[in-house]
Amino acid sequence: FPVTIVGRQGNINLFTLLQGSYDTNGTWSELTSSGTLTNNLWNSAAVAFGTYQFKYRVVGNCNASDEAFVNITLKEIPQQPIAYYYIVICDTRSLNLYASTVPNATYVWSGPNGFASQQQNPTLNPLSLTDSGTYSVYTMLDGCQSSPDTVAVTTYSSLIQS
């Protein structure tokens, strides 16, 4: 049974990852080598990101047995980008938004008036009074989302009049 977990979660009770009914008198073992399995608790707090495999074995009457396998893929939470902006007053009266570089990530911006962009450093041109507000950006990496960062932008009529 494959499971994807984003970010280190500390102790994970492997029984919560089994589906259906099962006997709790079995034995858990790790097929990979994190070294952090204790009974049914796997401690993901300090392991490397990657895939880990576990086997649950129950031995019944007459040496009959049954096994279940759990594969856990532990993915890293992407780094949070740092958002900032610059308003170009003299030339284009545009708003340039910036996000710090997060290697191999894609960017997701949102803001006032339905603003949306997947560029790392988008530009709003021409700038209007209704563009004032909070702009937010987060990154996506390997299907995982970072925490967002925001920047508050205030436009003034004296800046955008021609």
Q: What is the pLDDT of residue 87?
A: 63
**Positive or negative torsion for Cα 30, 42, 52, 20:** positive
Say which residue, 85 or 43, is predicted with more confidence. Answer: 43
Percent of residues, the chain, with pLDDT higher than 70: 93
pLDDT in tens, 35-78: 999 999 999 999 999 999 999 999 888 888 899 999 999 998 99
- The pTM of the full predicted model, rounded to 2 decimals, is 0.69
**Positive or negative torsion for Cα 17, 50, 103, 11:** positive
Q: What is the pLDDT of residue 91?
A: 44
Quick one: average pLDDT of 112-134?
Answer: 90
CB 141 within 8 A of CB 78: yes
Q: What is the pLDDT of residue 71?
A: 94
